Amino acid sequence: MDGTSVLRSGAASSAQALPGLRARRRFWRGGLQGSEYTWAIAFVVPYIAIFIVFVIYPIVYGFWLGSKPSLYPELFDDPVYKMTVVNTLLFVGFGVNVRNAIALLLSGFFMRKGWWVKGLLMIFVLPWAVPMLPTFISLHWMFDGDYGLLNNLLWSVFHINGAHWLDTRWLALGSAIVSFIWKWMPFWTIILLAGRMAIPTDIYEAAKVDGATGVKSFFHITVPMLANLYLMITLISTIWTLGDFNTIYFVTGGGPAMSTYVLANLGIRDAFDLADPRLGVAAVLTALPVLIPLTVILMRKLKHAEVQL
């Protein structure tokens, strides 16, 4: 991060040193000549084609599918829909924020030196490196009330009779949230770890001289330095998690009795199990009032970050 900005400014100063170079660069930028222009167009065409065919068209088509106003009363009358909204809020709210908070603290732990911390990190990233489906199938079986590993362990080690985790709504939803946190915590911990590593160590050393260590330096250096990154992470993962389908689908199966569906699951159920794609799209589209503001803030932030660097 720092390296690129240094390199950029280095390039800029060398451009000032060589007056000819600047003109040449403008040449590259503005008027690409004849065949060069054709090449440049040819280079971006594949991406633009994909964007039009697989992003713009599906979005427009989706809005068209969900444009009939009568769909929405029908949707709101569905008792499953109300549960789904509550579940989605809880799933996203707890899943993302608990995970990110733990990831922030753990990233500090992984800053510690020593071979065993490095080894531990290798184990810690395993949930993320193993593909989603195998891990969620395993978690589903682990939470099984009669034969699952979790209850077997609770019994063998502590002589506690575990609950039937997937048989009541709140326990099942909790299990799904825990599974979600388990699967995705390594990824965000590594990103926050990278963010921490980008903080110059002399700030901490200076603070240490002034007597600020541990908790103090965490709140006065780490938190402000990571605030922006943390906010962006929270925004993007909130947006992504709003569309999460797999966790619920595999860990709880939506059960018991569809009481743990989140929006994506409801949308897919309406579209395919009930063979009503319009209703499915309508279910998904009701996330827009939350999604659009988040997206606008995030896109501003991302662009800003790009300009900064």
Partner 1 sequence: MSAVTAGTAPSRSLSTRMRRAARRRNMLVNAGAAVLGVVIIVWSLLPIYDMVMVSLEGHDDVFSSRIFPADPSASTYWQVITQGYWYLNFFWYQYWRSILLGVAVTGLTLLIGSLASFAIGRMRIRFGWVVTNSALLTYVIPSAFLAIPYYRIMQDYGLMNNLWSVIWALVTFATPYAIFIFQNYGASVPIELDEAARIDGASPFQIYWRIYLPLMVPALVAVGTFALLLAWNDYLFQFLLLSSKRSMTVPVALSQFLNSDEAPWNLMMATAIIYALPPVAIYYMFRRHMTAGLTMGGVKG
- Positions 174 through 193 that interact with partner 1 (CB under 8 A): 182, 186-187, 190-191
Q: Select the residue interacting with partner 1 from 141, 208, 219, 274 (CB under 8 A).
A: 141
**188 CB contacts (<8 Å, ≥6 apart)?**
99, 100, 103, 233, 237
Q: How far apart are CA 133 and CA 99, in angstroms?
A: 20
- Residue 101 exposure: Cα atoms within 13 Å on the Cβ side: 5
Asked if 260 and 172 touch (Cβ cutoff 8 Å), the reply is yes
| Region class of 144: left (phi > 0), else alpha (psi between -120 and 50), else beta | beta
Segment near partner 1 (CB under 8 A); pick from 70-78, 151-159, 166-174, 200-208: 151-159
* Subset of residues 68 to 87 that bind partner 1, contact rule: CB under 8 A: none
Is residue 254 part of the contact set for partner 1 (CB under 8 A)?
no
Segment near partner 1 (CB under 8 A); pick from 7-15, 68-76, 163-171, 215-223: 7-15
**How is residue 165 written in tokens?**
């985790």
Tell the smallest beta-carbon distance from residue 115 to partner 1 (Å). Answer: 12
Q: Which amino acid is at 52?
A: I
Segment near partner 1 (CB under 8 A); pick from 76-84, 167-175, 216-224, 234-242: 234-242
Segment near partner 1 (CB under 8 A); pick from 75-83, 163-171, 200-208, 294-302: 294-302
Q: Select the residue interacting with partner 1 from 207, 255, 277, 290 (CB under 8 A).
A: 277
Q: Select the residue interacting with partner 1 from 75, 91, 127, 175 (CB under 8 A).
A: 127
Closest to partner 1 by CB, 219 vs 240, is: 240
Positive or negative: CA dihedral 152, 154, 159, 162:
negative
Is residue 108 part of the contact set for partner 1 (CB under 8 A)?
no
Q: What is the DSSP string of 20-62?
A: HHHHHHHHHHS---HHHHHHHHHHHHHHHHHHIIIIIHHHHHH
Q: Select the residue interacting with partner 1 from 77, 146, 202, 273 (CB under 8 A).
A: 146
